[in-house]
C-alpha cells in the first residue's frame, strides 16, 4: 500500500490522488463508482490491480484535465418507506415562538422568538433561526440576533419577519426601547442565518406597535405592516431601512376583519401578529384574532393596502397558549401554515413552541380551517445519510440542547444517559456499512447507539466515544453498521455513566466498510480503515 504524493491545486476545484492496490477489478469499479455517487465528486480510474483515484471537488470539477469518467448523479435509494410526517412541535431544544418562515434557494428558513424556560411573563432576549429542506428535520442555526444587537433596546425580543432583497436579508423585529416604548428595529445580514447587525442604530418606527410583517410586491414596492391594538403600514424604500410618506393607519371594520363580541372598544377580531403575502393575484392578511385566548383569522384584498374583506377563521382557539402567531408559505408545490402553542412539557402562554401544518387552498383561494395536530407536515423527499449531516438537524429529541461550536455552526450538548435524537426519513438504500461521528468529551465519554424506527428499535451499530480532553476538543469516531437499509427513521440513543457524557457535532454513513467521505472546513477527506489495508489515505488541500 502506498499513497501517491502528487496533488493538483486550482482555484476552480480541489483534487487529491489516491493509489489503490491489491484489490480486485470489480472491487475497484464498485468502490470508485460508490465514492463518486455518495460524495458528488468526479473520479478517474485505470488498470486492473492498481487504480488511481482522483477525487475532484468543486463547481468546475469536470474541467479537470485527467478526467476519464464522470459520475454526477446522486446515489438513488433502492427502497422507500411510507411518507414520514413532522413531529409537532418541530423545535424541542428550546421554547420557540412567533414563526416567520422564508423560502430561499430551495430551503425553508424559520425565524422565531425564544421564550426563556420557567417564565411567568414574556421573558424574551433573543431570536433564533432554523432551516429544513424536507419540512420534518430542522437544523438549528442558533441565535444570530439578540437584544444585544440593538444598543437602544433592553427587553422584549418579540415577533418579527425576515425578507431577502438586493442580496441581503432584513429582519424586522419588535423590541422595547430603553425609554420603555415598543418599537420596530431592523437587522441586516449577508446570509439567511446571520449574524445580523443593527441596520440603523435606532428604530425604524416607534409608535408602541409590535409584530412587523413585510411584503415586496411585483412592482418592487415593499410594505411593512405592524400593530396592536391598531394596524399600520408604511411604504419601504428600496434600501429596506427607510420609508416614504407617513405612517398609514388601516381602518379596522367588521367587514374587513370580522366581528368581535363583548368589546365595544375593539369591535373587530383583529388583535396582532399580522402576516401579509400575495398568491395567484390575491393579497392575504392573516392575523391573530380576538383575545384572550387568540385564534387565527384572515382577510383578503385586491391590492397590498386593501380594501380588506374578512375571510373567516383559519385556526380556532386551541392548545395551551393564550397567544398564537401565523406564518404562511408555499414550498415544493405545497402550502404550509406555521403557528405556536404550548405543547411541550412545561409549555404554556409564556413557554410556547412552533408547529407546522400542511393545507390546501379552496378553488376560490379560501383558506380552510386548520386544526393543531401532533403529526404536522409530510416529509418532502428523504434525508441522505451518505453526506455530512449536522447533529443539530433534528426531527425530535429528548434531553439534549445546542450551543455554538468552535468549529463553526452549532453542536449538540447536554447529552446524558438515555437521551436521544430522532432523524426522520433517512434513505439508506441498499445498506450502510459504517458510521462516523464527530464528538468531544471533557469526561470519559460514552456510547452512541445507532437504532432504527425507535429508541428500542433494531440496533445497527454502536460507536464508542472516548474522552477528548475538552468539550470543544473534537475527534472522529467510527463504527461498523449492519442492517441499515431502505428508508427508516434513525435514532441516536446515548448511553454512559455519570452526568454529561459528550458533545456531538456531525455524522455521516458510508456504504463502504470503514470508508467515509466528509467535508471539514471546506476540505473533502477520504477516510479508510477496513478494506484490509487496500486503500491509502490522504487529505484534500483547502482549495475552493
Residue 457, SS3 per DSSP: coil
Q: Which of 134, 198, 271, 449 is catalytic?
A: 271
Whether the CB-CB separation of 96 and 352 falls below 8 Å is answered with yes
CA distance 514 to 435: 8
Q: Whose grid coordinates read 433573543?
A: 126
Residue 271 is among the residues annotated as catalytic for this protein: yes
Residue 437's nearest CA partner among 468, 465, 400 is 465
Residue 277's nearest CA partner among 249, 292, 299 is 299
Long-range contacts, stretch 333-340, CB < 8 angstroms, 24+ apart: 334/358, 334/377, 334/380, 335/359, 335/360, 335/361, 336/101, 336/135, 336/377, 337/370, 338/99, 338/100, 338/101, 338/110, 339/99, 339/296, 339/315, 339/372, 340/89, 340/96, 340/97, 340/98, 340/99
Sheet holding 334-341, edge to edge: 327-331, 334-341, 353-359
Give φ, ψ of 39 to 5 degrees. -105, -10
CA distance 460 to 468: 25
Q: Whose grid coordinates read 439578540?
A: 146
Q: Whose grid coordinates read 407617513?
A: 246
Q: Whose grid coordinates read 438504500?
A: 429
Tell me the sheet residues that pair with 214.
224
CA distance 152 to 171: 16
Q: Tell me the three cell numbers of residue 435.
A: 458510521
- Evaluate the omega torsion of the peptide bond into residue 307 and state whether it is cis, within 30 degrees of 0: yes
Strands 153-155 and 282-289: unpaired
Residue 62, SS3 per DSSP: helix
Q: Tell me the three cell numbers of residue 358.
A: 400542511
- Evaluate the omega torsion of the peptide bond into residue 195 and state whether it is cis, within 30 degrees of 0: yes
Close Cβ partners of 39 (under 8 Å, ≥ 6 residues apart): 55, 57, 386, 387, 517, 524
Whether the CB-CB separation of 462 and 413 falls below 8 Å is answered with no
CA distance 24 to 30: 10
DSSP state of 363: T
Task: Tell me which H or E stretch contains 25.
Answer: helix 25-39
* Enzyme catalytic residues: 98, 271
Amino acid at each position: 500500500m502506498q499513497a501517491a504524493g502528487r496533488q493538483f491545486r486550482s482555484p476552480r476545484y480541489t483534487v487529491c490522488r489516491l493509489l489503490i492496490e491489491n484489490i480486485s477489478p470489480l472491487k475497484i469499479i464498485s468502490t470508485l463508482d460508490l465514492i463518486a455517487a455518495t460524495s458528488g465528486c468526479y473520479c478517474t480510474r485505470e488498470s486492473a490491480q492498481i487504480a488511481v483515484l482522483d477525487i475532484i471537488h468543486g463547481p468546475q470539477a469536470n474541467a479537470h484535465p485527467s478526467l476519464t469518467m464522470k459520475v454526477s448523479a446522486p446515489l438513488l435509494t433502492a427502497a422507500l418507506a411510507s411518507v414520514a410526517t413532522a413531529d409537532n412541535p418541530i423545535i424541542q431544544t428550546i421554547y420557540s415562538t412567533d414563526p416567520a418562515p422564508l423560502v430561499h434557494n430551495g430551503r425553508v428558513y424559520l425565524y422565531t422568538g425564544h421564550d426563556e424556560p420557567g417564565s411567568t411573563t414574556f421573558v424574551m432576549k433573543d431570536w433564533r433561526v432554523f432551516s429544513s429542506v424536507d419540512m420534518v428535520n430542522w437544523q438549528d442555526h442558533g441565535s444570530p440576533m439578540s437584544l444585544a444587537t440593538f444598543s437602544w433596546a433592553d427587553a422584549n425580543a418579540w415577533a418579527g419577519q425576515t425578507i431577502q432583497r438586493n442580496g441581503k436579508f432584513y429582519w424586522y423585529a419588535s423590541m422595547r426601547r430603553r425609554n420603555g416604548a415598543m418599537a420596530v428595529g431592523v437587522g441586516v445580514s449577508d446570509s439567511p442565518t446571520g449574524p445580523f447587525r443593527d441596520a440603523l442604530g435606532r428604530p425604524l418606527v416607534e409608535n408602541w406597535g409590535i409584530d412587523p410583517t413585510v411584503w415586496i410586491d411585483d412592482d418592487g414596492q415593499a410594505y411593512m405592516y405592524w400593530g396592536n391594538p391598531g394596524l399600520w403600514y408604511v411604504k419601504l424604500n428600496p434600501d429596506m431601512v427607510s420609508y416614504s410618506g407617513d405612517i398609514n393607519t388601516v381602518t379596522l371594520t367588521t367587514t374587513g376583519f370580522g366581528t368581535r363580541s363583548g368589546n365595544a372598544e375593539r369591535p373587530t377580531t383583529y388583535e396582532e401578529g399580522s402576516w401579509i403575502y400575495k398568491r395567484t393575484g390575491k393579497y392575504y392578511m392573516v392575523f391573530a384574532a380576538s383575545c384572550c385566548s387568540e385564534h387565527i383569522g384572515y382577510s383578503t384584498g385586491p391590492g397590498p393596502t386593501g380594501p380588506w374583506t374578512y375571510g373567516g377563521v383559519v385556526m380556532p382557539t386551541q392548545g395551551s397558549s393564550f397567544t398564537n402567531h401565523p406564518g404562511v408559505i408555499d414550498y415544493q408545490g405545497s402550502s404550509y401554515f406555521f403557528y405556536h402553542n404550548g405543547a411541550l412539557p412545561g409549555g404554556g402562554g409564556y413557554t410556547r413552541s412552533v408547529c407546522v401544518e400542511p393545507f390546501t387552498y379552496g378553488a376560490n383561494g379560501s383558506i380552510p380551517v386548520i386544526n393543531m395536530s401532533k403529526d404536522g407536515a409530510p416529509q418532502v423527499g428523504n434525508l441522505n445519510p451518505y453526506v455530512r449531516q449536522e447533529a443539530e438537524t433534528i426531527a425530535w429529541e429528548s434531553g439534549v440542547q445546542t450551543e455554538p461550536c468552535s468549529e463553526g455552526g452549532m453542536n449538540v450538548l447536554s447529552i446524558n444517559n438515555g437521551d436521544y435524537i430522532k432523524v426522520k426519513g433517512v434513505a439508506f438504500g441498499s445498506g450502510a456499512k459504517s458510521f462516523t461521528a464527530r464528538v468531544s468529551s471533557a469526561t470519559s465519554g460514552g456510547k452512541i447507539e445507532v437504532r432504527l424506527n425507535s429508541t428500542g428499535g433494531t440496533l445497527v451499530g454502536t460507536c464508542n466515544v472516548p474522552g477528548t480532553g475538552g468539550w470543544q476538543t473534537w475527534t472522529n469516531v467510527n463504527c461498523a453498521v449492519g442492517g441499515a437499509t431502505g428508508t427508516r427513521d434513525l435514532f441516536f440513543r446515548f448511553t454512559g455513566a455519570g452526568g454529561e457524557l459528550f458533545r456531538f457535532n456531525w455524522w455521516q454513513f458510508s456504504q463502504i466498510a470503514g470508508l467515509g467521505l466528509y467535508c471539514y472546513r471546506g476540505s473533502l477527506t477520504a477516510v479508510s480503515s477496513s478494506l484490509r489495508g487496500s486503500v491509502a489515505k490522504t487529505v484534500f488541500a483547502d482549495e475552493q
